[in-house]
Amino acid sequence: MKNIVIIGCGQGIGFATAKILSENNHVIGISRSENPEVKALNIDFHQIDILTENFNNITFPDVVDGLVYAPGSINLKPFNRLTQEDFKNDFEINVLGAIKVVQKLLPNMKKSESASIVLFSSVAAKLGMPFHTSVSASKSAVEGLTKSLAAEFSAQKIRVNAIAPSLTDTNLANQLLSTQEKREAAGKRHPLQKIGDAIEIAKMAEFLLSENSSWITGQIIGIDGGMGNLKL
């Protein structure tokens, strides 16, 4: 049984990942939101905001085998309506939060025989999309962080990869998917004609944490309905 820490387990992809991994692993879940469904899972749950609070009240296992950093943001505005605070907030959520957790748990992961870190980027880091400048800038930083950490941690046998989804059916995307018409239009923008599913993405995180991906590191894996590479 592995010890896996999931940040952002309260909803969306983070929750789906916690649900899947809790079946066969010891999961320490951290979220700033309290979701009754999370409490029903067989996990060690802690409600804190990692951006403003520390980890002093959490006793992590001596050995941590996996870390999933799932918080994200969808802050879509025309560039001239974005403030510097918008850029700072997105960078804190997507990048600085991940850095804080990795630095905290690195000593624990070094004790694992095969540790794995999974971060989250976005198709918007690869494909230029209007109104995505803030999220694209922060997610591009996540991709750079992923590759640099993968290179630096390879000597400790710690793998680091990122998943880059397109629009996925989660609470975070509620405003973009609030009507059937919006859902259909969003699906049609993808070559596979549908939006993403949190469980499918969570299963990729599960794979990247497993021994089946022991030769994969430094990769940005697109789960985006083909949007990142295909033009039809």
CATH of the domain at 82: 3.40.50.720
> Contact, 117 vs 102, CB < 8 A?
yes
Number of domains observed in the structure of the chain: 1
30 inside domain? yes
182 inside domain? no
Q: How far apart are CA 117 and CA 67, in angstroms?
A: 5
Per run of 10 residues, the mean pLDDT along the chain (length 232 residues) is 96 96 97 87 95 94 98 91 97 98 98 97 95 96 98 98 92 74 84 93 98 98 96 82
Angle at which helices 97-110 and 133-153 pack, to 10 degrees?
20
Residue 37, classified by CB atoms within 10 Å of its CB into exposed (0-12), middle (13-18) or buried (19+), is exposed
177 inside domain? no
Position 138 scores a pLDDT of 97
| Domain that includes residue 212, residue range | 3-166+198-223
180 inside domain? no
Position 97 scores a pLDDT of 97
- Residue 165's SS3 state is strand
174 inside domain? no
231 inside domain? no
186 inside domain? no
41 inside domain? yes
